[in-house]
Structure 1
Amino acid sequence: MYNLATKILQLLLSLINGRMKVMNKEKISKNEPFIVVCTHKSWIDVVCLGVALYPTPIHFMAKKELFNKAFIKNLLTKLNAFPVDRSNPGPSVVKIPLQLLKKKKVVGIFPSGTRNSEEKALKNGAIHIASRASVPIIPAVYIGPHTIKDLLGRKSRAIILGDAIHVPKMGKDKESITETISEAISKAFEELESEKL
């Protein structure tokens, strides 16, 4: 269902808004797993990232509240999303992504884009998962409309991918490594957002 939904959404968005620009797609590996960490303000950036990386499917980490209704839960599961409790993270925050990465899948994590505790927790989570799975983190930035109104106004859309960030295995200096990588992700976001389209 993921592939079909991605193709349909790609067509609809193109008809409504025009073609999306995807920059630096050659930076991603077609055969090896990785974690893509993308800025996030609305559902549109999630959809656009999925379209940008197609045909590589992304397994999205999503807040558990979205899975409360059976129909939505079933739909999200078919679209490769899996639930996590962001306010009280448990073993699933690490267990499910590690299982997916071991199967050479791509995991998508979306910090909120604001400098708050949830964003920090999500970025740190991505860093620890990447370290344990020995996979790189690919920073990505979405630039474009965040509302239906702006989409209909044909405001241009773009996904910009950054260089892979390699995370070493955690040792006694775990906090220091986490802070360094977190800063690298933030810096990558800032640099990508400043690129001229």
Structure 2
Amino acid sequence: MNLYKLGKFICTVLLYPLYRIKVIGRENIPKEGPVLICSNHIANVDPPVVGITSNRDIYFMAKEELFKNPVLGGILKRVHAFPIKRGMRDRNALRKGLEVLEGNNALGLFPEGTRQKSGEVGQGLAGAGFFALRSEAYVVPCAIIGPYRTFKPLKVVYGKPIDMTEYRQEKASAKVVTDRIMEEIRQLHKIHSE
């Protein structure tokens, strides 16, 4: 068993009962081909939660500082994470993300770039739009509806893939595409919070 599968198994056993996770719309994630999963970000535990609720193995970007610890950095690399420098355009991370998608894999992003502790869906950075425009990936919005409280229900909702055809043909800006993705996440959050 590789480290990713082992980690997914351990997180599933621990997190599902701890947060009484309910998954809605998992069938909206295409089982094959490149997929960009874009989620809101409310807590540090979001990446493993998205990882265990998805039907695909997911590659995630993680802040560069986490890789400076030799033990943690080694583990992160073996569970499909790769570093990104925050607060600047990181060409290596962008290139790596495109390689992930070109290999018909799933790339997980938190477009807000930082946690929104209020639980509200914030504004997204242009990176999500960049990957959506520069690849042929299906773009799947995801809403995590918390807060994370022990033994209290947490929802993870996957929406239908967003049709990017028109945006790609019109060569829309990455920011415009990110805004569309964030609006889809916001709608999922609103509908399923009630």
Question: TM-score band (shorter)?
Answer: 0.7 to 0.9
Aligned length, in residue pairs: 182
Considering only aligned residues, what root-mean-square deviation do their CA atoms show, in Å?
A: 2.1
- Structure 2, unaligned runs of 5 or more: 117-121
Note if 1:169 corresponds to 2:158: no
Q: Secondary structure at the match of 1:97?
A: helix
1:109-139 CA distance string (max 9 Å, x none): 112355xxx9543xx1121122111212211
Counterpart in 1 of 2:38?
A: 37
Q: CA offset at residue 156 of structure 1?
A: 0.3
1:180 aligned onto 2:166 = no
Alpha-carbon distance in 2 for matches of 1:120, 1:156: 26
| SS of equivalent to 2:99 | helix
Q: Which runs of 5+ in 1 are unaligned?
A: none
User: What are the within-5 Å matches in structure 2 for residues 1-197 of structure 1?
Assistant: 1-18=3-20, 20-54=21-55, 56-110=56-110, 111=112, 112=114, 114=116, 120-121=124-125, 124-146=126-148, 150-151=149-150, 154-167=151-164, 168-169=167-168, 174-175=172-173, 178-196=174-192
Deviation, 1:60, is: 0.4
Aligned partner of residue 31 in structure 1, secondary structure? coil
Shift in Å, 1:144:
2.2
Change (3 A) 1:46 1:183: same
Task: Provide the rounded CA distance (Å) in 2 between the counterparts of 1:71 and 1:185.
Answer: 35
SS in 2 for 1:40: coil
What do residues 134-167 of structure 1 show as CA deviations (whole Å, max 9, x unaligned)?
Answer: 2122110111233xxx22xx11011101121233
Q: Deviations over 1:41-91 (max 9, x none)?
A: 21222211111004x110001111111111110011111110011212221
Which whole-Å CA distance do the structure 1 matches of 2:188 and 2:115 have between them? 13
Cα distance in 1 for partners of 2:192, 2:91 equals 41
Matched-pair contact (CA < 8 Å) for 2:127–2:178: no
How far did residue 17 of structure 1 move?
Answer: 3.5
**1:21–1:159: 8 Å Cα contact kept in structure 2?**
yes
C-alpha distance after superposition, 1:5-64 (max 9, x if no partner): 11111111234343x21111111110111111111121222211111004x110001111
Percent identical: 24
> Could you tell me whether the CA contact under 8 Å between 2:124 and 2:182 is conserved in 1?
no
Partner of 1:60, secondary structure, is strand
Q: Secondary structure at the match of 1:43?
A: coil
How far did 1:183 drift? 2.5
Answer yes or no: is the 8 Å Cα contact 1:131–1:170 preserved in 2.
Answer: no
